[in-house]
Structure 1
Amino acid sequence: MLRLRRPSPAAWGTIVEAACGDAEDYWRARDVLVQAGRAAAPYADRIAARLDDLLRDPHDYLIGQLAFPLAGVGDVRAMPALHRLAVRERLWRERSNAPALAVMPAAELLPLLRRDLGVDAAAGGNACALDVLAAWGPAAAPALPEVMACLEGPYAYDAARVLGRIGPPAAAAAGRLAEFATGSSRPPGPYGPDPRGSWYGVRMAAWAHWRVTGDDSPALRIYAADLDSGLGSRVLPYLADFGPAAARHTGAVRALMDSPGAWARVAAAHAWWRITGDPEPAVPVLLAAVDPEWDGHIAYPTPRAVRHLGEIGAPAAAAEPVLTRLLERETRLGHGWERIRILADDAVTRTLTEALAGIGPRSPG
């Protein structure tokens, strides 16, 4: 399961039965099952029944290995186990749980998230909860009081991202976001309350302020200062989100497409296309970042380049052969990180599939 991208159709069934059984090595099967994602859907009843059995044992510390696969298909039968895990302070311990939790219906999970965030805005596990809320976007609006409290702690960067994703319903945070963006104030940490120096999240705060107010002038002014001081690579993703409103910066963005760093080149190519609508100089830069022999190492921006090529669509048709080659691999991408290897490869596979769909069918000949 960890090695092959397309295992036998019966393989997941075998894993589920082992994970739900009493065999001595059931824990090994659960380590795989927790990464199942949508593949667990046909086995939800079996997993839920076994999870119900385990919940009768107040000392079973492995319920998360069945709760998260069930949550990953949006099954509300995972909620009793998630409540128990939250009480044990295990629910938000790892950010890798966020993708599964984000699939759960917001109405079911929001009360638990809000309760957890409300205990301590500086708690170490808040990052996962904030990741889930960011993924929900406007549906996370009921958690605004707790998110705004987190804006005053070491997870202010993550909280600002959530507020930006929520958008106009988070307008009550606009004043505080403006203070953080301009540097007139800053949150504490994560390296302590020392206010000296600029906060690393000023660009995120500026973006979030624009998202909640619709006023782009403060953010674009801040990003222009970064471009003028040689820090343009930091603001490229934000400029891409602004699109044509950032047209005054096309010269600086075009120059960054020749940066020595692959991440900066990919971000600049994407920003150029989003701002100008012109794919001609962007596609070769993005295509150069897609190595057909890429092995999944996270140091390379390959998935991001693939996603951007798919967004460009038909003008990126030259990417079709290399994307197809990566998609047709028999073995999973990854570096032996067994705890996330299936999840990581599935995410790449979805990105490749969506990109190819965006580009469209290959022209005959």
Structure 2
Amino acid sequence: MRGPDSAVEAVLRQRRPDPRCWDVIVEAVCADSASGGADRALVQAGPAIARHADRIAEDLRRQQGFFGTAVGHGVSLRALALAGAGDLRALPALHHLAEHGGLPYNRAEARIMAALPAADLVPVMLTRLRRDNDDAYHDNTTALEVLALCGPAAAPAVAEVARRLDTPYAYDALRVLGGIGPAAAATADRLAAYATGRDPRTSRHHPRRAAWAHWKVTGDPALALDVCGAAVRSGTASHGLPFLADLGPLAAPHADAVRGLLDSPGAWTRVAAAHAYWRITGDAEPAVPVLLAEVDPHWTGQPAAPVQEAVRRLGEIGAPAAGPAAPLLRRILAREERLTHAYDSSRILADEAYVRTLTDALERIAPEGADLVPVPRGAARLG
């Protein structure tokens, strides 16, 4: 039987660790004898610890105390672990944490919480935003990240999110409002002001996101086509390409400019251009070789390389055009070791996100052989 430290090392390094490693980690955390490494592993565990959910929920109640009002690290840790497993018993604790400023505070933890149903998460995030602490960086970024992942279900939060357009969190607010779509139509004028630079708070990153959001809430693509197309033509291509890709055939007037970026010296720009060109024209022939060239089988998770993005876009293209990618994706997915570049606090999350991307891509590219590759035990279905 492994000790807690070796169990943590195993789950951090192996895609298919012995399930008993999770038993050891849960026991150590619930017995208050765990190291920080066990804590960090547990919050990333997702469905791998679902069979221990009753034990963790019971321990969460203990951590909250007799009156159920404690909001310390122990409460946050256990609530996050349950949330990652999709267990609704996390919600009361998350709501209480939101009321008292103890909500988990980084984007990775936001994505863990997003394993819970969006309709249940939105009231928690509204509680967080209504605490009138616009200067609290972690509180705002966490709440806005979760709401962005909720998409149209975040509609009840429109008013609170729109308030963030007047704060340093405007870019995240733009992302949320665009994801909400028509239910945020009342913000269209504000979005147009950011897109055109009329708002004095507009920075260089705002116009494309704001123009995209304006299209999503109004259904009118004219502003997005103008702003994002201008970005592609001006040499700030990577800032406009993802939005032109989302516009798809509506962006046909910009297809030639996008195709010219397939040979860009920047890998991220090449990948974004390949994706955008395919989405705009439906022609995968020039896009697939560009994307396939970026799929490094030895990638360690270094964010400077757009490997995961290239795999995702190949998956979207699917069969038969992306068929040449299938053998390489199977080989990568069969690896036993996780990505090693990410910090321990997000290594499991980063690797399982990559595994999901590879698996989803294979299911689209070569569905007849996707089930031949071993899948990590308890792979989490998080954003």
- Cα displacement (A) at 1:87: 4.4
Matched, 1:47 2:59: no
Structure-2 separation of matches of 1:14 and 1:290: 36
Structure-2 separation of matches of 1:22 and 1:89: 24
Counterpart of 2:7 in structure 1 is none
Query: Is residue 60–residue 79 contact of structure 2 (8 Å, CA) maintained in 1?
Result: yes
Counterpart of 1:131 in structure 2 is 145
Structure-1 separation of matches of 2:119 and 2:194: 31
Structure-2 separation of matches of 1:72 and 1:298: 24
Query: Is residue 342–residue 350 contact of structure 2 (8 Å, CA) maintained in 1?
Result: no
Matched, 1:328 2:338: no
Counterpart secondary structure, 1:294: coil
Counterpart secondary structure, 2:73: coil
Q: 1:165 aligns with which of 179, 182, 191?
A: 179
Structure-1 separation of matches of 2:199 and 2:47: 44
- Cα displacement (A) at 1:11: 2.0
One-letter amino acid of the counterpart of residue 146, structure 2: V
Matched, 1:121 2:121: no
- Segments of structure 1 that go 5 or more residues without pairing to the other structure are 188-194
Structure-1 separation of matches of 2:367 and 2:99: 50
Structure-1 separation of matches of 2:256 and 2:25: 54
Structure-1 separation of matches of 2:40 and 2:19: 19
- Cα displacement (A) at 1:292: 1.0
- Cα displacement (A) at 1:299: 1.4
Counterpart secondary structure, 1:257: helix
TM-score normalised by structure 2 residue count = 0.88
**Equivalent residue runs for 1:8-157 within 5 Å:** 8-23=18-33, 25=34, 27-56=36-65, 58=70, 60-118=72-130, 119-125=132-138, 126-157=140-171
Counterpart of 2:364 in structure 1 is 358
One-letter amino acid of the counterpart of residue 300, structure 1: A
Counterpart of 1:317 in structure 2 is 323
**Equivalent residue runs for 1:117-266 within 5 Å:** 117-118=129-130, 119-125=132-138, 126-187=140-201, 198-266=203-271
Counterpart secondary structure, 2:290: helix
- Segments of structure 2 that go 5 or more residues without pairing to the other structure are 1-10, 370-383
Query: Is residue 317–residue 362 contact of structure 1 (8 Å, CA) maintained in 2?
Result: no
Query: Is residue 233–residue 256 contact of structure 1 (8 Å, CA) maintained in 2?
Result: no
Structure-2 separation of matches of 1:26 and 1:235: 44
One-letter amino acid of the counterpart of residue 54, structure 1: Q
Counterpart of 2:13 in structure 1 is 3
Counterpart of 1:191 in structure 2 is none
Matched, 1:304 2:317: no
- Cα displacement (A) at 1:88: 4.5
Query: Is residue 68–residue 101 contact of structure 1 (8 Å, CA) maintained in 2?
Result: yes
TM-score normalised by structure 1 residue count = 0.92
**Structure 1 stretch 267-276 or stretch 114-123: which is displaced more?**
114-123
Larger RCO (alpha carbons 8 Å, 6+ apart): 2
Q: CA-to-partner distance for each residue in 1:39-66, whole Å, 9 max, x for gaps? A: 2222211110111111117475322221
- Cα displacement (A) at 1:32: 1.0
Q: CA-to-partner distance for each residue in 1:97-124, whole Å, 9 max, x for gaps? A: 1111112233433223112112133421
Structure-1 separation of matches of 2:310 and 2:73: 40
